[in-house]
Amino acid sequence: MTFDFDKMPDGLIPAVVQDDQTGQVLMLGYVNQEALAKTQQEGRVTFFSRSKNRLWTKGEISGNFLTVVSLHPDCDGDAVLIRARPDGPTCHRGTVSCFEQPDQTAIPAAPVGFLAELERLVQRRRDIPDEDPKSYTASLFRKGMPKIAQKVGEEAVETVIDAVGGNFEGLKGEAADLLYHLLVLLAASNLTLDDVVAVLRERHSTISAGVRRE
């Protein structure tokens, strides 16, 4: 992985941080060679702060760290894309992304990105059930796997009924219910969407390679 820090007079290159799960752009900062090395060594995004004139690890005060998933130089090596998982709001104003305005509608996530965002909330309800005692999701986790599995089965049946009956408006709602309860089931099983996608990718690779599944 090669970066050309000498191309810039101040030795800084731009670093774009992207949410690894949702794909949303979270923020833009600048890194020098030392900041990038610390980012790689510690696994948390560290910038060079031009205002502080020192290295600055995102979250060192707020606790909202950006955990590094992967680093990707651009074609010229004078910029870097950092895919990360945020521990909380990235922006100091409390928004998910620095590119959102607090008084405006949040940047809409792509469909797959929104599922990842919803999954993260479901996992939070599992891990911190008392944060919102009235939460329906938290109540499902309290009732345990039998109830969660039952709900998945019920929503699957209702989805099929609407599909077979041609009730496409109803189908959208039932499919949404099914996806949501499936996310709860996965979380209760300590599995994630990434685990499911990995299986789909493996199957796709097998089919693309011309291997017939018997």
For the chain, the structural domain boundaries read 13-86, 111-209
**pLDDT value for 48:** 96
**pLDDT value for 154:** 97
Looking at the chain, which runs of residues are DSSP E strands?
A: 13-19, 25-31, 46-49, 54-57, 66-73, 80-86
**pLDDT value for 98:** 92
Tell me if 90 sits within 8 A of 27, measured CB to CB: yes
Tokens at 91, concatenated: 């922006």
**pLDDT value for 210:** 67
**pLDDT value for 15:** 97
**pLDDT value for 71:** 96
How do beta strands 54-57 and 46-49 pair? Answer: antiparallel
**pLDDT value for 22:** 80
d(CA 198, CA 68): 20
**pLDDT value for 148:** 98
Query: Would you say the CATH fold of 111-209 matches that of 13-86?
Result: no
**pLDDT value for 34:** 96
CATH class of 111-209: mainly alpha
3-state class (DSSP) for residue 54: strand
φ/ψ of 130, rounded to 5, equals -85, -5
Q: Which CATH number fits domain 13-86: 3.90.1170.50, 3.90.170.10, 3.10.20.810, 3.90.440.10?
A: 3.10.20.810
**pLDDT value for 103:** 59
Tell me if 81 sits within 8 A of 13, measured CB to CB: no
* Residue numbers in the chain where pLDDT is lower than 50: 214
Tell me if 170 sits within 8 A of 162, measured CB to CB: yes
**pLDDT value for 96:** 86
